[in-house]
Amino acid sequence: MKIYQVAILGFGVVGSGVYRIIKENHDDLKHREGVHLHTKRVLVRSLKPQYFDVAPEELFTTNFYNILNDDDVSIVIECMGGVEPARTFILKALKAGKTVVTSNKEVISKHWYEFEKIAKQSGAGLYYEATVGGGIPILRTVTDSMQANNISRVLGVINGTTNYILTKMAEEGKTYEETLIEAQKLGYAEADPTADVEGYDATYKLSILASMAFHAHLPVPTIYREGITGLSAMDFQTAKQLGYTIKLLAIGKKQGNSIEVRVHPTMISKDHPLCGARGVFNAVFLTGSAVDDIMLYGRGAGAMPTASAVVSDVIYACHRDGRHRYMTFVNHEQMSDQIELVSNFSSGYCLRILVTDSTGVLSKITQVFAQHNVSLSTVLQTQATDGEASIVMVTHGAMEMDMKAAVEGIKVLDCVKSVLSVIRVEE
């Protein structure tokens, strides 16, 4: 039985989890999968005594070239995060013919095309299941289980930090600021939460997932992105009143060669399966031409769930040794000119508008909507106080550009004090 020597780059939450799984499950993997895995090296920025409580001191190195020049190491597992030096290390490993397994969604989403080009040239494998959905086997499902389908839709709750915050705001009525502090104390949010709360993390993941689902490279800049920092407790009260909840959704839709990809807060019906993803859990909802709707659900982050996906990729790579698969779509830095990127997409919208308590207000607002081809499905008005009232309006499906023009038209009406919020609705 062949022994596969692996090296782990980074020994944080994920890297240490990978080491533990390989060590603790070694005999089971050898018996069940016919794969003999051994960790030969672990790269760290600096040697720390706490590392030696987990793994033998002689495994650790601060010099990447001790791994690159070690002919025994055939698989490099990158768990460092960020772009550099991860990008450089991955490129060098692939050029040397070493298979790379990574959990790094940012570097894959931004430099996938570079890595795959080099991997094809050297014959090395490139695997990245753990970049989307943590322990949820979503990418493998798309590539290995849904080949008979043309996938037309992807909806995902794929960032645990924001899902935790939004769940708390929805269920406990807390403000964004209160919930963020709580998430940071629990370790669910970073000290600088920008990547999560402004939607960057979900955008990186959607770039990878939608590219694979729609068989077309969709670079990060092609994705519309909007974060959760502008949401208020009143938005959640409104959603609850209407039978919705609010999620930061990653949305991809394909019709022919037309593709839309976007990440933003979205109201979805409480009956939708994605509403079952609470707290730090993730879920991905797919629509295939043959299978129709399916959903995968599970822990989207954390040491062991993500490490589980990494080790699964390592085993998969071992089974495909010398027969690695690559994407068959055009994978260049820019999106293929065969794809039409849809920026003027169709969606429902929920608006909260502060108006003067006077006659004819609704008539004036609905006239503006009508001028821009926007029709209403629901209108609610709160009790007036101090000469002001709040109106909630939910539209039928409308084009994004029409909706933006309508909102600008409403803002200049004398009877409108402020457009408090505009949240897209996904049925």
State pLDDT tens for residues 88-105: 999 999 999 999 999 999
Q: How far is CA 123 from CA 47, 103, 120, 415, in A?
A: 33, 21, 5, 67
One domain for residues 93 and 212:
no
Residue 228 domain-assigned?
yes
Mean pLDDT for the stretch of residues 159-171: 96
User: 282 and 389, same structural domain?
Assistant: no
Instruction: Given the residues 40, 110, 205, 247, select the one marked as catalytic.
Output: 205
Does some domain include residue 72?
yes
pLDDT at position 1, please?
72
State how many domains the chain has. Answer: 3
pLDDT confidence band for 301 (50 / 70 / 90) = confident
Average pLDDT over residues 390-394: 95
Quick check: is 185 catalytic?
no
Residue 326 lies in a domain: no
296 and 156 within one domain: yes
Kindly give the interhelix angle for 160-172 and 176-185, rounded to the nearest 10 degrees.
130
**By mean pLDDT, which of 16-25, 47-56, 319-328 is the weakest?**
319-328
pLDDT of 264: 98
Give the total residue count for the chain: 427
What's the rounded Cα separation, in Å, for the pair 114 and 117? 5
* Integer Cα distance of 246 and 231 in angstroms: 9
C-alpha–C-alpha distance, residues 286 and 136, integer Å:
13
Q: Is the pLDDT of residue 8 over 90?
A: yes
Instruction: Mark whether 68 and 100 lie in a shared domain.
Output: yes
Provide mean pLDDT across the span 332-355.
96
Look at strands 292-299 and 346-356 and give their pairing.
unpaired
Output the average pLDDT for the chain.
95
Q: What is the pLDDT of residue 53?
A: 92
Instruction: Output the domain CATH number for residue 65.
Output: 3.40.50.720
**What is the distance of C-alpha 418 from the center of its chain?**
32
HSE, CB side, 13 Å, CA atoms: give it for residue 219.
13
Is the same domain home to 179 and 291?
yes
Whether residue 338 lies inside any domain: the answer is: no
**pLDDT, average across residues 328-334:** 92
pLDDT(383) > 80: no
- Are the C-beta atoms of 265 and 210 separated by less than 8 Å? no
Q: Quick one: pLDDT band at residue 2, thresholds 50, 70, 90?
A: confident
Which of 273, 300, 327 is the last residue in one of the domains?
300
pLDDT for 77-90, tens place per residue? 999 999 999 999 99
331 domain-assigned: no
Q: Which domain holds residue 227?
A: 138-300
Question: Where residue 367 sits, what CATH number does that domain have?
Answer: 3.30.70.260
Residues 312 and 399 in one domain: no
Same domain, 279 and 388: no
> In whole angstroms, what separates CA 17 from the centre of its chain?
21
- pLDDT at position 314 is 97
User: How far is 319 from 105, CA to CA, in rounded Å?
Assistant: 24
- Sequence-distant (6+) residues with CB within 8 A of 94 are 100, 115, 118, 119, 122, 124, 126
Q: How many CB atoms lie within 10 A of CB 182?
A: 16
Residue 359 is predicted with a pLDDT of 87
Q: What would the pLDDT profile of 251-300 be if each residue is shown by its tens digit?
A: 999 999 999 999 999 999 999 999 999 999 999 999 999 999 999 999 98
Q: Is 95 found in the same domain as 164?
A: no
**Hey, what are 320's tokens?**
């495909």
152 with 295, same domain? Answer: yes
Close Cβ partners of 418 (under 8 Å, ≥ 6 residues apart) = 353, 354
Same domain, 90 and 144: no
User: Within this chain, do residues 165 and 145 fall inside the same structural domain, yes or no?
Assistant: yes
CB count in 10 Å sphere of residue 139: 22
- CA-closest candidate to residue 46, choices 59, 65, 60, 30: 60
Residues 169 and 285 in one domain: yes
Q: What is the 3-state secondary structure (H, E, C) of the chain?
A: CCEEEEEEECCCHHHHHHHHHHHHCHHHHHHHHCCEEEEEEEECCCCCHHHHHCCCHHHEECCCHHHHCCCCEEEEEECCCCCCCHHHHHHHHHHCCCEEEECCHHHHHHHHHHHHHHHHHHCCCEECHHHCCCCCCHHHHHHHCCCCCCEEEEEEECCHHHHHHHHHHHHHCCCHHHHHHHHHHCCCCCCCCHHHHCCHHHHHHHHHHHHHHHCCCCCHHHCEECCCCCCCHHHHHHHHHHCEEEEEEEEEEEECCEEEEEEEEEEEECCCHHHHCCCCEEEEEEEECCCEEEEEEEECCCHHHHHHHHHHHHHHHHHCCCCCCCCCCCCCCCCCCCCEECCCCEEEEEEEEEEECCCCHHHHHHHHHHHCCCCEEEEEECCCECCEEEEEEEECCEEHHHHHHHHHHHHCCCCEEEEEEEEEEEC
Which CATH number characterizes residue 245's domain?
3.30.360.10
Q: At what angle do helices 26-33 and 13-24 cross, to 10 degrees?
A: 70
Which pLDDT belongs to residue 381? 86
In a domain, 289, yes or no: yes
Given the DSSP bridges, would you call strands 151-157 and 281-288 parallel, antiparallel or unpaired? antiparallel
In this structure, is residue 397 part of a structural domain?
A: yes
User: Per the domain annotation, does 290 fall within a domain?
Assistant: yes
Rounded to two decimals, the pTM is: 0.95
